[in-house]
Amino acid sequence: MEISARLIEVPSSPIRKLLPLAQKAKSQGVTVFHLNIGDPDIKTPLPMIKVLKNWQINPIGYDLSQGNSRFIQSLLFYYHQLGHGFLDEKNIQVTTGGSEAIAMAMFAVANPGDEILVFEPFYANYNSYAVTSGIRLVPITTNISDGFHLPPAEVIRRAITTRTRAILYCNPNNPTGTVYTQTEIEMLVDIARKYKIFLLSDEVYREYVFDHRRQISLFNYMEKNPQNTLVLDSMSKRYSACGLRLGTLVTLNDKISSGVLKIAQGRLSCGLIDQEAASALSQLLPNYYTQIRDEFARRRDVLYPGLQAIPGVVIPKPEGAFYVIARLPVDSSERFCQWLLTDFRHRQQTVMLAPASGFYATGKLGQSQVRIAYVLNCRKLARAVELLKLALQVYPNTR
């Protein structure tokens, strides 16, 4: 009666595995500032909440496996407004969070033992989906010194083998906050076309780009590359509704669409209530998105100079999303993050960060780094930065 070998291989989430320590601290009356997880404190839009308050549907039955029709129409409204008028109902598969979109995409493009290229540090949960679908993630390292931008094409080409089936990237990037340039995206599109591999673009943070940057969506290249491009999306961050568990897998490749629909039929449907609520996205004004973006930019402008001023901290200026990878003057960020929860207190407060090693696949990379999610308001964020500064002053294990 042994459990499966692969169950042992599933990695613990670097974002969540320290939660028991946080809960213990809280039970001792300690306030924990959560910068470990991308769960923003911004309110979910009222039109979505109103759907709940005015709820009429009963029984709460299954929805269509592809997705609730009303929700798909509202998604099309959103994508069309962004300028991607070529997208049609049949191109959209609704998923249980962006998570399921990524898992389905991996399953759809690669067989067990096949390889998918990722740029490390990368969203740690990619590891989970890779293990559950038996795929090997092949990391291409990016560096804090150039703000984690992509390496030259030849570095990527060298990583391609006969088993390589896709390049998976996140733009704007979780965990680094990097926004890829048009040149970078076009490099990936060219490589994917040349080597006949898929491009999987995780665009969950599409709206969150700062300093007049533009997010270069893979949608811009989808009509010219209809067979090998997939966009993976989520409602979680855009509408500050992580608990809605809704995402999308978007592609013009009919074989992928009909294939993932079969997987979707197997799990019947996404939540009816969540889809009905999320359909209210079409009632939001265009300035909804810019308001949220500006709020994250303000937070970035608290976090970035604050961290920069701490001796020994190395931090690239975040360009988008609401994350940054920072290098701290500690030997092991894992031990430091634990210590923050178990030992460090200042006025009964501490801060929770995600150790960055879980975002790397290569050996010992990231051991002094942390991922910081700036999902708290500016006042709390300023205090969290102060706590981190105080903590580093007294941490016994600094270099």
Subset of residues 66 to 95 that bind a second copy, contact rule: CB under 8 A: none
Q: Which is nearer to a second copy, 42 or 314 (CB)?
A: 42
For a second copy, the binding residue among 33, 84, 92, 97 (CB under 8 A) is: 97
For a second copy, the binding residue among 92, 108, 209, 249 (CB under 8 A) is: 108
Per CB under 8 A, which region of 85-93, 125-133, 208-216, 359-367 contacts a second copy?
Answer: 125-133
285: phi then psi, degrees, rounded to nearest 5: -80, 155
User: Which ranges of 145-253 does DSSP label H, i.e. alpha helix?
Assistant: 153-159, 182-195
Burial readout 233-244 (b: 16 or more C-beta within 10 A, e: otherwise) = bbbbbbbbbbeb
Instruction: By CB under 8 A, tell whether 110 contacts a second copy.
Output: yes
Determine the longest span between alpha carbons in the chain, in angstroms.
Answer: 61
Q: What is the dihedral of CA 302, 308, 310, 315, to 10 degrees?
A: 110
Instruction: By CB under 8 A, tell whether 378 contacts a second copy.
Output: no
Q: Which helix (H) or strand (E) holds 102?
A: helix 97-109
Given a contact cutoff of 8 angstroms between Cβ atoms, the answer to whether 370 and 287 are in contact is no
Stretch 15-44 residues interacting with a second copy (CB under 8 A) = 15-17, 19, 37, 39-44
Stretch 153-182 residues interacting with a second copy (CB under 8 A) = 165
Q: Is the peptide bond before 172 cis (omega within 30 degrees of 0)?
A: yes
Q: How far is the CB of 105 from a second copy (least distance, A)?
A: 10
How far is Cα 316 from Cα 224, in angstroms, rounded to an integer? Answer: 34
For a second copy, the binding residue among 128, 338, 377, 398 (CB under 8 A) is: 128
For a second copy, the binding residue among 79, 129, 296, 344 (CB under 8 A) is: 129
Which one, of 292, 287, 275, lies nearest residue 238 by Cα?
Answer: 292
Instruction: By CB under 8 A, tell whether 245 contacts a second copy.
Output: yes
Tokens describing residue 204: 């969950």
Question: What is the pattern of x (binds a second copy, CB under 8 A) and - over residues 250-289?
Answer: ---x-xx--xx-xx-xxxxxxxxxx--x------------
Given a contact cutoff of 8 angstroms between Cβ atoms, the answer to whether 82 and 214 are in contact is no
Stretch 288-307 residues interacting with a second copy (CB under 8 A) = none
Q: Let me know the angle formed at the C-alpha of 164 by 161 and 167, rounded to the nearest 5 degrees.
A: 125
Q: Which is nearer to a second copy, 267 or 347 (CB)?
A: 267
- 55-58 long-range contacts, CB within 8 A, separation 24+: 55/273, 57/272, 57/276
Q: How far is the CB of 341 from a second copy (least distance, A)?
A: 16
Q: Using CB under 8 A, count the residues that bind a second copy.
A: 85
For a second copy, the binding residue among 240, 248, 279, 369 (CB under 8 A) is: 240
Q: How far is the CB of 381 from a second copy (least distance, A)?
A: 16
Per CB under 8 A, which region of 123-131, 137-145, 175-183, 294-302 contacts a second copy?
Answer: 123-131
